[in-house]
Structure 1
Amino acid sequence: MAQIVITAIGSAGDVHPFLAIGRTLMQRGHRVVFCTHPPFAPLVEAEGFAFVPIGTAQEYEEALANPALWNPRTSFRVLWKVIAPSIRPHVDALSSLLTDDTVMLGSLWAFAARIVQEVHGTPYVSVQVSPSTLLSGHSPPTHKRFTVPMWLPLQVRIASMRLIEKAVLDPALGPALNGVRTEIGLAPARRILGKWLHSPDGVLCLFPDWFAKPQPDWPANRFLCGFPLPVEPSATPLDDDLADFLSSGAPPVVFTAGSTLIDEAAYFGAVEETLRLTGARAIVLTRSQPASLLANPGVRVRPFVPMHTLLPRCAAIVHHGGIGTAALAFASGIPQVVTPFAHDQFDNAARIEKTGCGGRIDGPVNGRAIATALRHVTRDTGVAAQCVIARQRIVAEPNACVAASQYIERFVPSVPAVAELESSA
Structure 2
Amino acid sequence: MPRGNLIVICVAFVTAMICYQSAAQSRYALMFQQGLRTISEFYVRPVENEDLFDAAMEGLTAPLDQNSVYIAPPRYSNFRRELGQEFGGIGVHVDFDEENREMVIITPLAGAPAYEAGIQAGDVVVAIDGVDLNGEDFDKSLDRLHGETGTSVTLTVRHIGQDDLVDITMDRANIMVESVMGDTHGEGGKWDFHLASNPRIGYIRVDSFGDRTAEDFELALEQVGDDVDGLIIDMRGNAGGYLTAAIQMVDLFIDQGDIVTTRTRNNRIRDIYEASSGGTLVRQDLPVVVMVNRFSASASEIFAAALQDHGRATVVGERSFGKGTVQSIFPLDGNRRAIKITTATYWRPNGSNIHRFPDSKEEDDWGVAPDQGWELELDDETLTKVIKARRLNDVDRTNFANPESATEREVSEEEQVLLDFEDPQLQQAIEVIEEANK
Query: TM-score surpassing 0.5?
Result: no
Which of 1 and 2 has greater Rg?
A: 2
Give the TM-score of the pair, scaled to structure 1. 0.27
Higher strand share: 2
Higher helix share: 1
Q: Which has the higher contact order (CA 8 A, sep 6+)?
A: 1
Give the TM-score of the pair, scaled to structure 2. 0.26
